[in-house]
Amino acid sequence: MKKQLLSLMFSAVLTIVPAGGAIAGSPTVDDMQAQLDDATVAQPADFSGQDLSHLDLAGMDLSGVNLAGTDLSDAQLENTRLQGANLVGARLDQAVLIGANLTGANLADASLVDVNFTDAEGLDSVMGIQIDNIG
């Protein structure tokens, strides 16, 4: 009986967490890059409302991308280009944005608890936040 229960629990874990560690429905970095490669200025990539937490997106070009309502908590965004990105209502708690370019990004209603903005560019042009609120 215990062996069957353990086997059932193991099967449930395999169903919930597929190979590669990503939770079903959450895009991987490769999925994102494929969508970014297909995006155009007229039809930018849209990751709104998705769970991108804990992903390593360092160095990616997310300029103009719709990230509204996206969970980017604990994401690695070093040197990421986010010019003009829509981050309205996004969750960026504990995200690392060292050297990121946020020129013209919209962070209205975004959660920014313990975000590392060291050497980030364009903070003076970010919409939706006040510079004196960034620690």
pLDDT digits (tens, 9 = 90+) for 71-119: 999 999 999 999 999 999 999 999 999 999 999 999 999 999 999 999 9
User: In the predicted model, is pLDDT for residue 15 greater than 90?
Assistant: no
What's the confidence (pLDDT) of residue 131?
A: 56
Least confident of 8-22, 74-88, 121-135: 8-22
Per-residue HEC secondary structure of 42-104 comes to CCCCECCCCECCCCECCCCECCCCECCCCECCCCECCCCECCCCECCCCECCCCECCCCECCC
Per-domain boundaries in the chain: 27-135
What's the confidence (pLDDT) of residue 25?
A: 64
What's the confidence (pLDDT) of residue 129?
A: 77
Closest CA to 103 of 79, 129, 75, 127: 127
Q: Which is more confidently placed, 110 or 133? A: 110
Closest CA to 59 of 20, 102, 99: 99
pLDDT by residue (tens digit) across 33-65? 999 999 988 899 999 999 999 999 999 999 999
Fold of the 27-135 domain: Pectate Lyase C-like (2.160.20)
Closest CA to 72 of 46, 44, 51, 98: 51
Structure tokens at 25: 């429905």
Taking the CB of residue 23, how many other CB atoms lie within 10 A of it?
10
